[in-house]
Amino acid sequence: MHMEFNKTMKLRKQDLWTLEEYSTEREDFRRSILEHKKDRQLFLGPNATLYFEDALTMKYQIQEMLRIEKIFESSEIEEEIAAYNPLIPQGSELVATFMFEIDYPITRRKVLSSSLSLSYTKPLHIVRGSGQFLYDKNGIEYLDGVNNIQHVGHAHPKVSTAAYKQLQILNTNTRYLDQHVLDYAERLLKKLPSKLSVCFFTNSGSESNDLALRLARTYT
pLDDT digits (tens, 9 = 90+) for 17-27: 999 999 999 98
* 139 has a pLDDT exceeding 80: no
Q: Structural domain boundaries of the chain?
A: 13-159, 172-219
Q: Tell me the C-alpha distance between 206 and 203, whole Å.
A: 8
* 203 has a pLDDT exceeding 50: yes
pLDDT tier at 15 (50, 70, 90 boundaries)?
very high
Cite the DSSP H helix spans in the chain: 19-38, 55-69, 74-84, 105-111, 157-167, 179-189, 205-219
Average pLDDT for 92-102: 78
pLDDT tier at 2 (50, 70, 90 boundaries)?
very low
pLDDT tier at 186 (50, 70, 90 boundaries)?
very high
The mean of the pLDDT values for the chain is 84
Residue 15 in contact with residue 4, Cβ under 8 Å?
no
Share of the chain above pLDDT 90, in %: 27
Average pLDDT for 125-131: 85
pLDDT of residue 198: 93
Higher pLDDT, 110 or 154: 154
Residue 34 CA, distance from chain mean position: 18
pLDDT tier at 159 (50, 70, 90 boundaries)?
confident
pLDDT tier at 187 (50, 70, 90 boundaries)?
very high
Q: Give strand pairing partners of 99.
A: 49
* 31 has a pLDDT exceeding 70: yes
Amino acid at 191: K
Query: Does the model's pTM come out above 0.75?
Result: no
* 210 has a pLDDT exceeding 80: yes
By 3-state DSSP, what share of the chain in percent is helix, strand and coil, each rounded to 5?
Answer: 45, 15, 45
pLDDT tier at 4 (50, 70, 90 boundaries)?
low
The CA radius of gyration of the chain, in Å to the nearest whole number, is: 21
H or E element in which residue 14 lies: none
Residue 34 in contact with residue 141, Cβ under 8 Å?
yes
Helix (H, G, I), strand (E, B) or coil at 87: helix
